[in-house]
Structure 1
């Protein structure tokens, strides 16, 4: 956590405190807490997409590093540099394509619950528009085309319901809201095909 979001130790445990004027800190602390709730309910995080993005990012950095420290000087290195620039642009475009088409606003993907009959995990997404106090949390099936997919459920609530005036997250209230949404998702009938 950065300086604007901190965890304060008290006699009863750790409190999550943020600067209420920092929109990104509010969203980040809520998203992190959603992930904690989902993991506490027994879901395992599916990291394949994150690992792919990280691999593409490392390759992109390696290409930039090679272009920067190529031992030959211009104009001898022109063809190599053009190749690096082209590869760099292609890798960045691929990364943006993955973020735009696969990740969207999702903060987390999970595997199905251990021992459950469903074959699809969860796709958790959230939104907190700039200059708005309304946080929207959506839980959907990670494979919406699956026969086991449930209908998505959504919660929209003002962040003022979860934070004190001092910026401390009322974690118990927020956990209850997220758990209720997860229970609603699990009790939702499957999508009709």
Structure 2
């Protein structure tokens, strides 16, 4: 109840809208929504890979700054520059992500010891969106076979580009349930 005795009304939810002519806009909106669905199922985001990539990026920038602002000029700093160049291959571009949009920890209190890797694809010039759910540790005994679906994005958007969240949430939740029920049937 509001302080004046009137019933409080829920805040109006702004519909999620994408530019239907921009596949990146569509994919971004769907990926964002998937993250919300997965988190609502009790999974928490695993940010270790993102943090590792940020650390590697910071180290590469530090080496570049050192090379740029070294006190000696070119012929005298040649060995130092060669050393900086030799350091670059030691900072790999981490490619574990590929099409992954979300890495998770297992839900709190869950029997399984592995989180999920959620991946999505929306090929160029296509309306077919593929969502894949796999184990974050495929070698684990509690890992399960990956599950996926491929559907046209036209199933989830109105002609104005508004996402029909209820339909999309149902599809994503069903895929998560399929992944988890597969584990029970082992």
Report the RMSD for the aligned CA atoms in angstroms. 1.7
Secondary structure of the 1:156 match is strand
Q: Unaligned stretches of 5+ in structure 1? A: 1-10
List per-residue Cα deviations over 1:141-170 (Å, max 9, x = no partner).
111111111221101101111112222111
The question of whether the paired residues in 2 share the 8 Å contact of 1:138 and 1:152 is answered with yes
Aligned counterparts of 2:106 and 2:126: Cα–Cα separation in 1: 33
Greater C-alpha Rg: 2
Give the distance between the partners of 1:143 and 1:109, measured in 2 at CA: 11
1:26-48 C-alpha deviation (Å, 9 max, x unpaired)? 11111111111111111111111
Q: Which residue of 2 aligns with 1:26?
A: 26
**Residue of 104, 114, 118 corresponding to 1:110:** 104
Aligned length: 176
Partner of 1:165: 159
Structure 2 vs 1, CA of residues 191 and 67 (structure 1 numbering), >3 Å: closer, same or farther?
farther
User: How do 1:126-165 and structure 2 match up within 5 A?
Assistant: 126-165=120-159
Q: What SS does the corresponding residue of 1:109 show, helix, strand or coil?
A: strand
- Which stretches of structure 1, 4 residues or more, deviate above 3 A after TM superposition? 189-192
Displacement after TM superposition at 1:191 (Å): 8.8
Q: 1:20 to 1:165 in 2, by over 3 A?
A: same
For 2:16 and 2:68, the matched residues in 1 are separated by 42
Q: Does residue 177 of structure 2 align to residue 183 of structure 1?
A: yes
Gaps of 5+ in 2: 1-10
Larger displacement relative to structure 2 (132-141 or 77-86): 77-86
Q: Output the CA distance in 1 between the equivalents of 2:27 and 2:182.
A: 27
For residue 12 of structure 1, report the CA deviation from its aligned partner.
3.3
